[in-house]
Structure 1
Amino acid sequence: MPEPHRRLSDPRELNALAHPVRMAIIELLSVSGPLTATELADRLDETPANCSWHLRKLAQHGFVVEAEGGKGRQRPWQVPGLGFHWDDEHASASVEERRAAQALSEVTMGRAMDRLRESEERMPDEPEEWRTAQSGIEMVAWLTADELKEMNDAISAVLDRHVERLTDPSKRPAGSRLCEFVAWGVPTYFPGVEPA
């Protein structure tokens, strides 16, 4: 299985990913395996030339590599590993790093919100088993920093339970579909509500 996470801190790397087309390319290569610029263009409603240009930019930072089995325009590309980790509020980070990390977070979360909206629009046409299986959860709770970290770690462990299915199709049960979970556990700020 590919390395599950790559730690990003260089503002140039963060900025290279903080582009909707580049993030879409990374996402598609992560869930579909090797694809050519032409195949990516068809799926993303972009031109092959535009996808080739973005692939080269991603390759400069090691986010994508050439896969075996192609030449010239039929070169497939792949991701060398799954997932990235970055901090947009790390205390020792430079202003430039924090700004670049925040831009990447906004692109990533914006894409996730777009997929949520599309899923909600399509939900009435889904079979009942999929309509009843989906869920949205939002909550607030009074927690200590240790409790917040414990909950985030527990959620991460649950979300990582089936990560090998992304790279090994033989582990995907019959009838399974690609599903998305987005979670964050952060201190939140309500007007007039102070820490206990």
Structure 2
Amino acid sequence: MTEDSSTPSAEHPENWPQRQLRDATSLRALAHPLRLRLLELLGVHGPATATELAERVGHSPANCSWHLRQLAAGGFIEEAEGGTGRQRIWRFVPSGSSYGYSDDAPEVAEAAATASAIQLEHEVDELRTWRATRHTDSDRWRDVAFTTQSILWLTADELEELSEQVAELYLRQVRRHFEPETRPTGSRPVRLIAWGIPAKNLETEE
């Protein structure tokens, strides 16, 4: 299952609105690298027009506008007040979402797999970009940035427990993503990606 948590005004993370994406339309809205980029920009920097976003991503305003409408159709963004004519202002809809359930219908499962693959490519591209450009960052940030990998022997229950522990670490900081006033001086967006999966290629037949 893939999850993305976000923050409404509730006091505790467990009370934040959550969406279970069980329809192919919403999942297909996520299945495009430019849409993921637009969604991230709206989540991090706040409401913007297609023209403003186009300047950030290097695409035409018309192309960005079309992709923004697809995200809106999926319920991930919505129109904000203050727009005029074609200069509509879009805002991120604060919510967490999860998808990739074992009992999904075939069409939904296929859409979820596609969305997951594109999201993975997006994150790997971001890692490659960091590695290629980290020499331009400060010594301090180069020293604290990290990647880690390990092979563990776990039961299904232990993996479930580890998943919950990792999610708890995320939730300690996720409020800052959508509440700028909670961000300490000197903070910046940091990508933190985790997965725990059976190592199929290391298994032996019993």
Report the TM-score, using the length of structure 2 for normalisation: 0.88
Contact 1:35/1:77 (8 A) holds in 2: yes
Query: Residues 4-153 of structure 1 correspond to what in structure 2 (within 5 A)?
Result: 5-87=18-100, 90-153=101-164
How far apart are 1:64 and its partner, in Å? 1.2
- Aligned partners of 2:26 and 2:73 also within 8 Å: no
Amino acid at match of 2:109: R
In structure 2, the CA distance between the partners of 1:194 and 1:146, relative to structure 1 (3 Å rule), is farther
Residues 103-144 of structure 1 show CA distances to partners (whole Å, capped at 9, x for unaligned) of: 000111111111111111111222111111011101111100
Larger strand fraction of residues: 2
Task: Point out the more displaced range, 111-120 or 186-195.
Answer: 186-195
Residue 191 (structure 1) shift: 4.6
Distance 1:132 1:32 in 2: 26
3-state SS in 1 of match to 2:174: helix
Give the deviation of 1:4 after TM superposition. 5.3
The range that moved more, 161-170 or 66-75, is 66-75
Provide the identity percentage: 41
Q: Secondary structure at the match of 2:82?
A: coil
Instruction: Select the structure with the greater relative contact order (CA < 8 A; seq sep ≥ 6).
Output: 2
Shift of 1:74: 2.5
* Unaligned stretches of 5+ residues in structure 2: 1-6, 9-15
**Structure 1, gaps ≥5 residues long:** none
Q: What's the CA shift for 1:61?
A: 2.4
